[in-house]
Each structure stands twice: as structure tokens, then as C-alpha cells.
Structure 1
Amino acid sequence: MNGTQVIIVGAGPTGLTLAVDLARRGVDFRIVERSPRHPAGSRGKGLQPRTQEVFDDLGVAEEILATGRVYPPIRAYAGERVVWEGRMHEPREPEAAVPYPMVLMQPQWRTERILRDRLAALGRHVELGVEVTAFEQDDDGVTVTLGGAERVRCDYLVGADGGRSSVRKGLGVGFEGETSETERMVLGDVRATGLDHEHWHTWADMATRTMRVALCPLPGTDVFQFTAPFTGEEAPELSLESFQRILDEGSGRTDIRLTEVAWTSLYRVNVRMAERFRVGRVFLAGDAAHVHSPAGGQGLNTGVQDAYNLGWKLAAVLGGAPGRLLDTYEEERLPVAADVLGISTRLYGRAKRGEEGAHARDEETQQLLLGYREGSLAVGERGGERAPDATLGGGRLFDVLRGPHFTLLALGAADAGPVEEVNARYGAAVRAHTVAPGGGTGDLVDVDGLLHEHYGKGLVLIRPDGYVGYHGGEAGLRDYLAAVTAG
């Protein structure tokens, strides 16, 4: 029987993020995808600022930024007449603490391609057309049947295989929530004449201010994402002719012509969350664990955060860290998923009711404020918070954090002794630095004083996923490191 350390089921953004993270950590794994080909649709097109920070760490941010764009202005029409124009997100400039302040538009097919290219550069590839047909676990591992014939033994199995997850169903884990049979939407990637590519073009019912049809230009392409909600039992045909009819009726215009439909989908409003994110040696992540309304662009991004949380913990335990570290995956991610589900549901409700300003998005959707303050890995005043970026002499804090390691910062008058001890004991697994105020002398210099203002004096241990684990004095640091590393 073949063996590997981890099997990832599903090669969407969640599975690919986990695969890239495990690959750079030297974990042996396989990533399998039931579909015989990679998907082509734009689908989840919004990348939140926190996701861009994750992609910075994984080595794909440069291409993501180069090929994406900020969301274009929304232009609302009554027929041919422009009746309103505005933005979903107010423009923000990068700051020392927040280098990626704007939501980025990127068709999902390209996000996945960029992640696959990064995975290939790390020497790993997705296995297409491979379905998990059965699995069983015991105290020592999981036996997975692939394609009905091949049996593979692994230490851990991760289901990142979408809302209809076969892994979740195989576990017998409930998927609580509701699916609306009356509130649905047709989506497609279309080419069209008669519209510019600098605006998100929308037509709404003027009485209720609810959307009828919209075309959003996708960056780096001549394609629009077509969206149109509908009610009733009978779904429209997913064809060029049907989409043209929906556009004509929804816009009241005949001068806009659709010339090609490249991808189509029928979406039902689906709001559900798994009862558990872990059963023994099997984990659920992304849409396999939670599904949201599309409002607020949270689904893809939350899946990426799931994978980013799980990756370093799997690698640590496989490398010898205490197994109870894996308990913190569900402990940390399930409450976040519940909060995000609430945000997207609330935003969808506002849009459905036609509330004024329902298009606007603020910092609650950017995922920069999400954290794990109530979790067992959060120790000290700033424990569990996202670690902000900062300007250092010759670079940024994110440059120091980038990679699969923990980072220890000794600020102010903190004794350099812990830094020397940690570097000697943990090597590349924990990189420790003294941080001097601006004008001072240290491994790192806090040019603007942001780090000292934020943390004060003392020791700050930043986890591999960019959250503060430990914030305090020397006394508790050794015990904390013993709980999260193999040292």
C-alpha cells in the first residue's frame, strides 16, 4: 500500500493554498481533484486584504497584484441613462501597518492558476480525475481509496472538496443551515459589445432598488461576469440566447449584444456550516466546512484562511509537536466561520431589501480584524491578534515574517538572552530578533516606532500564519514554544 503524510481532497483555492504551504514546509502529500480538468469560471472574484497578505507569504502576491485590479466604479442605469455612480470600496492608500488596503478583483480561474504555478515551482502537482471513493481511520492514520482501486495510507486527510463534500458526508458530519429554492442567480462569463470595461454596469428595479442584471469587467480580459437574480421554480436556460433575453428585459436596452458565453452557473443562496471541522485525523476546510451567500466576497477568502491556519499546525505535529495543537484548528476557525457567515448573510439581506448604501463595504469584510483572541493559543495582551506590518530599517516586518517559521521579537529593553537561546535551540524553526526603536541599534530597527507603540516592551512571538501567539515576558515563553513546536 502506498503511503504519504497528508491527502488533500479538492484543488480549489483552499486545497491549493494548503498544498503550497505544505510543499514549502517539506511535508509529503498528495492533492487530488475529482474533475478531469481545471475549472474555467470567474466565480469568487474578490481577494480581501488579509488574503493578499497570505499570498504575500506564500510567494504569489506579486503576480496576483500585477494581474488583478481594484474594483471598478459601479454605474447604475435606467435604460441608457446613468442614474448613479459610486464605489463598493472607498479608496485607501497603503500604510505601514496595512500594505494591501484594497479588495482586489481577480477571476477565480486565474487565482487558481497562479497557485498551481507556485505549487509546480515547489515540485508538486494536482492529480486530476482522481476521486476519493472511501476512507477509514484508526488511531494511527487514514486509509483512503482513490478511484475505487488504489488504496493509500496517510497520517491526515483534509476535505477541501466544496459544499457537496464527499469527505464531510463520509464523516457523517451535519451541514446545518438552509438552502433557498426561490432565491437563485444565473452567472456567466460573457463577451459583449456596447459597454466599456471601466465600470461595473448594473440595472435595477427603480421602485425596490433591487438588482435585475449586472455585467462586471474582469481584469486582464475582454470578458464580463454576468449576474442576474431570479425567483420562481423554473430556472432559465444557461445559454447565449437566454442570457441575451435576460439582459434585454432587465436593462430595457437592445444595443448591448452578447457575443459569447464562456462559462455558466446556476447559484442557489446556500448558508450552511459543518457541525465539526475535525473528526479524528480528518479535517474539513473551505466550502466543505461552510458556505455563504456571495455578498461581501467572503467564501473563497475564508477558505484560504482555513488552509493557512491548518497548514503550519499539520507540519508542526508531523514534525514532532504535541498532537493537541491540531485541536486548535476547529477551536479557532469554527467561530470565525460563524462570524463571517453572519456578515455575508446580513449584507445579502440588505441588498435583497434594496436598502440605501447596500453596495458599500467596509473593514468588517476585509478580514484584517479577524483573530483568535479567545483561543487557547492566545497568550498576553495582543495574543490572537493579526500582527500588523511595520517599516524596518531596510525593509518591512512582513519580509522578516515571510516563510514557514515562527518569529520572536524582543522589543525595547527586553533582554537579548531569550533571542540568543531561541536561535541556538530552534534554528530555522523560530527566528528571533532584537528590535530597537528608531535611531537605536538592534537586529531590526523600528523606524516609525509602530511596533513599540503597538506592543510596548517585551517579547512577541508571531505564529507562522501571522497572528500573535505569545506576548509577555521571558517566564512563559519556553512553555509556549514547547506546546507549538517540536523543540
Structure 2
Amino acid sequence: MTTRMEDVIIVGAGPTGLALAAELRRLGIGAMLFDRLVEGANTSRATVVHARTLEVLEPLGISDVMVARGIQLRAGQLREKGGKIKATIAFDELPTKYPFVLALPQNLTEEILVARLRELGGSIVRPIEATSLTQTSQCATLTYTAAGTLVQELSARWVVGCDGLHSMVRQAVGIDFTGGAYEESFVLADVEMDWPMSSHAAANTLELFLGDEGITLIAPLPNNIWRIIATQANPPQHPDVQDCQAILDARTVAGAKVHRVVWSSRFRIQHRVADKLRQGRVLLAGDAAHVHSPAGGQGMNTGVQDAITLANALTTAIRSGDESELAAWEEKRLKIAHSVVNTTDKMTKLALSSNPLAHLLRESMLGLMGHVPALEHAVARRLSEIDNR
């Protein structure tokens, strides 16, 4: 075995790991970033970038690039089947440079982050899979396999787990991941289709349909692609044209016609938060630290914000030995994670419940939102995450 010492090792090269590595490089801190996959997933997955995420990415110099490549959605419409609007969540009056929701597929977000990381002299080492982790008061040491065979050790002053829901890093240091799972499955599909609402102002809105069949969200993506997200009891692993068409016919508006599925998947969702974000020389960020319902589109956003704020705290700790900023970072980010998980959990349970009382409550809340602008504005602020400044 050979042993090397790094300042920071980042496990996992999704948006959180990429943002952390790039920001550390910009701040003059060396960071080794590795991932177990031979290449990135290169699929759209998370497609929403909120205002606060664009704000924190400004120092990296990529926010304007992201905006140029995405679609600015100025509002979200909550509708019933057939299209009647129950409430509108407007983003264009938010007090931010980015008063919109940016529709940008995750593969493009990652592409932009990778390009900036390389400009700053960084890279991603692939395929490297961490298999175990030990630590002392001075460093953490990872044992890993390269290309599945070569076993080595790599040590760093700090190791950050950005390795997702099933984080090896989190499990290796024994941090509990408290929460549970939802019974419902979700369909994700990016499609080419005729969407009757694209001919008017709704072309630049998120459309969320609420009905007895479940939740269905429709949003435009770059290159004339539409994202469909829908709850379904037992969807196929990869929904096809007929599956997507059936969802639209049963839940949205007349005239929608799916021509081709570009990418699709199904997934089950969980709601969990790590009991802590630091154990000795090991830190957690992104999905390794918190996972939740996609309601509100805040998963990737919260992870990227974890990363950028962590980079600043790590830089101070490495340069001065003062770890007080890390303690403050952990406290604040845990509070935010619990807030996001609690909010999305309530939204999801209320929207999915078959209980008549829950339906009545949902309709009452939507009716109230539709007549109280201050409430709509508060929801927009919450989703944009600008109150996390």
C-alpha cells in the first residue's frame, strides 16, 4: 500500500462534490475529487436551480453561464385536472438578481461545474471506490480500489462525503440517517411532445396538477424537451410513450401528445437527515447528509449550497487551524436540512393523502393562497431559498 496526504478528499462527483472541489480550488485549497463511476450519469435528473443557488455560485463565475443555457420560469401554477388555476406562485418579484426558477437539466449543471473545475486546475479521478475509512485526530484515511483491483490508502486532513443516499463515508463513521420512506413511487420522464399550454404565457411556468390520481408536474427544458414528474403506485422501471401519454390524458389537459421519450426512470423517495454533519475529520454534504421529496425541487440546490458554504469554512480551518466556522456551518446547514425535509414532507403527504379531510385541507389552503398575495409570496421565498442567506 502507498499513502499520500491531501488537504481535502471529496468522495462523490455529483453537483455537490463538483461545487465543493471547484470552490476550494478557487480559494486556493487543493482538493482531490473522486467518483466510483467511470463517467458521470449524463442524465437530466434534477432540473430546477433556485435563486439562492445561483447567488452562491456567483463567485465561481458560472451563474450567468447557467442562466444562458437554461429557461427562466417566472411562476408556478397549481391547477386541477382540466387546467383550472387554483393558485399561482410568482417568482418574478423576489428580491434577488435571479427572480425566477431556472430550468436546467442536471447533466448541463454538472457539465458547467466540470468545465470550471478544470479551468481552476482540478480534475475528477475515476473510477475510484472508497471501501473503508479510519481516522485519527490529525487526518482521515480512505482505503480504495482503482479500476476494481488496485488497493491503496489515501489520507487527508479532511474527508467530505458527497456520495449520496447510501454514503459509504457516512456509514463508515457511524452517523445515523434518521427518517423514513414514502410508499409512493415517482415517474420521471423527459419527452418531446405537443403541449397545448406552450402557446401562451404558461410556456414559461411550472405546471403542477393536483388530483385524485396524484401529483403531476410539467416543466419546459432546453431544446424543446418537457419534464414530466408524476406519482404512481407501480410504474414501470422506464416509462415509455404510452405510459407518459396515459398520465397526461388522465391528469392534465386535453390535447397533450407525447412523441418520444428521451429519458425516463422511476424512483422511490425518502425523507432523512444525518444526525450530524461532522465526525472528527469527516464531513457530510448533499444527499449524504439529507434526502427528501422532490416537492419544491430543492434537493440538488440544498446540496450545492452546503458545498459552497463548506468550502469557506474548510479554507479557514486549513489555513488558521480555527474550526469555529466549521461548527457554525454544521449548525446552520443541519437547521436548513431539517427545515427543507419538514416542509417537503408536509407538502408531499398533503398532496398524496387519500383522506377526505386532507383533501379538504388542501383545497382550503389552495383557495387561501389564490386570494392572499402575501401567502403566495411567502411560498415563493421559501422555495427559492433566499431566506437561507
Q: Give the TM-score of the pair, scaled to structure 1.
A: 0.67
Whether the aligned pair in 2 keeps the contact of 1:47 and 1:103 (CA below 8 Å) is yes
Q: Which residue does the alignment assign to 2:157? A: 155
Deviation at 1:140, TM superposition (A): 1.8
Q: Which residue does 1:91 correspond to in 2?
A: 92
**Equivalent residue letter for 2:138:** D
Q: 1:284 Cα shift?
A: 0.6
For 1:326 and 1:289, how far apart are their aligned partners in 2?
15
Q: 1 or 2, which has the higher helix percentage?
A: 2
CA distance in 1, matches of 2:309, 2:91: 29
- The equivalences for 1:322-401 within 5 A come to 322-352=322-352, 353=358, 355-356=362-363, 357=366, 361-370=379-388, 386=389
Matching of residues 192-207 of structure 1 within 5 Å:
192-193=193-194, 195=196, 197=198, 198=203, 200=206, 204-205=210-211
SS in 1 for 2:179: strand
SS in 1 for 2:142: strand
* Larger Rg computed on CA atoms: 1
Structure 1: how far apart are the matches of 2:185 and 2:176? 23
Distance 1:118 1:325 in 2: 26
Taking only the aligned residue pairs, the percentage that are identical comes to 31
Q: Confirm whether residue 130 of structure 1 aligns to residue 128 of structure 2.
A: yes
Q: Distance in 1 between the 2:347 and 2:16 partners?
A: 23
Q: Which amino acid in the other structure matches residue 115 of structure 1?
A: L
Q: Is the 8 A contact 2:239 2:265 kept in 1?
A: no
Letter matched to residue 246 of structure 2: I
Find the aligned partners of 1:253 and 1:25 in 2 and give their Cα distance.
50
d(CA) in 2 for partners of 1:340 and 1:253? 31
* Greater mean deviation of Cα atoms: 234-243 or 2-11: 234-243
Q: Secondary structure at the match of 1:119?
A: helix
**Offset from partner CA, 1:445-465 (integer Å, 9 cap, x none):** xxxxxxxxxxxxxxxxxxxxx
Spell out the pairing of 1:144-183 with structure 2 (5 A cutoff). 144-147=142-145, 149-180=151-182, 182-183=183-184
After superposition, give the CA deviation of every residue in 1:370-407 in whole Å (9 maximum; x if it has no partner): 3xxxxxxxxxxxxxxx4xxxxxxxxxxxxxxxxxxxxx
User: Do 2:74 and 2:92's aligned partners in 1 also have CA atoms closer than 8 Å?
Assistant: no
Cα offsets for 1:76-134 (capped at 9, x unmatched) = 575xx5433864324227x5xx3223332222221111111111111111223221112
2:116 aligns with 118
- Quote the residue 2:189 is aligned against: 188
Aligned partner of 1:293 in structure 2 is 293
Do the aligned residues in 2 keep the contact of 1:212 with 1:250 (CA within 8 Å)?
no
- Residue 387 of structure 2 aligns to a residue in which SS? coil
Give 1:223's aligned amino acid: I
Contact map agreement 1:240 1:258 (CA 8 A) in 2: no
Equivalent residue in structure 1 for 2:27, among 25, 28, 42: 25
**Alignment coverage as a number of residue pairs:** 359
CA separation of 1:239 and 1:101: change in aligned 2, threshold 3 A: closer
* CA distance in structure 1 between the aligned counterparts of 2:248 and 2:59, rounded to whole angstroms: 45
Query: Does the CA contact (< 8 Å) of 2:20 and 2:310 recur in 1?
Result: yes
SS of structure 2 residue aligned to 1:88: strand
Q: Distance in 1 between matches of 2:257 and 2:100?
A: 32
Question: In 1, Cα distance between the equivalents of 2:259 and 2:32?
Answer: 40
| Whole-angstrom CA distance in 1 between matches of 2:208 and 2:138 | 55
SS at 1:190's partner residue?
A: strand
Distance in 2, matches of 1:341 and 1:124, equals 33
Q: 1:260 to 1:150 in 2, by over 3 A?
A: farther
2:180 match: secondary structure: strand
Question: By how many angstroms is 1:341 displaced?
Answer: 1.6
Give the Cα–Cα distance (whole angstroms) in 2 for the partners of residues 296 and 339 of structure 1: 13
1:23-62 equivalences in 2 (<5 Å): 23-62=25-64
CA RMSD of aligned residues (A): 2.7
Q: Which moved more, 1:280-289 or 1:43-52?
A: 43-52
Tell me what 1:109 maps to: 107
The one-letter code of the counterpart of 1:280 is G
The 2-side partners of 1:102 and 1:254 are apart by 28
TM-score normalised by structure 2 residue count: 0.83
Distance 2:217 2:333 in 1: 33
Is the CA contact (8 Å cut-off) linking 2:54 and 2:98 kept in structure 1?
yes
CA apart distance, 1:291: 0.8
Contact map agreement 1:295 1:348 (CA 8 A) in 2: yes
List runs of 5+ in structure 2 lacking aligned partners.
Answer: 353-357, 371-375
Alpha-carbon distance in 1 for matches of 2:209, 2:323: 54
Q: For the residues of structure 1 that align with 2:330 and 2:78, how far apart are their CA atoms?
A: 41
| Greater relative contact order, per chain length (Cα 8 Å cut-off, separation 6+) | 2
- Cα 1:178/1:242, change in 2 over 3 Å: farther
Q: Is the 8 A contact 1:32 1:126 kept in 2?
A: yes
Partner in structure 2 of residue 472 of structure 1: none
Paired with 2:325 and 2:78, the residues of 1 have a C-alpha distance of: 49
Matched residue, 2:265: 265
Say if 1:161 and 1:287, in contact at 8 Å, map to a contact too: yes
Higher mean Cα deviation, 192-201 or 156-165?
192-201
Give the whole-Å Cα distance in 1 for the aligned partners of 2:74 and 2:384: 17
CA contact (8 A) 1:295 1:347 kept: yes
- Which residue number corresponds to residue 217 of structure 1? 220
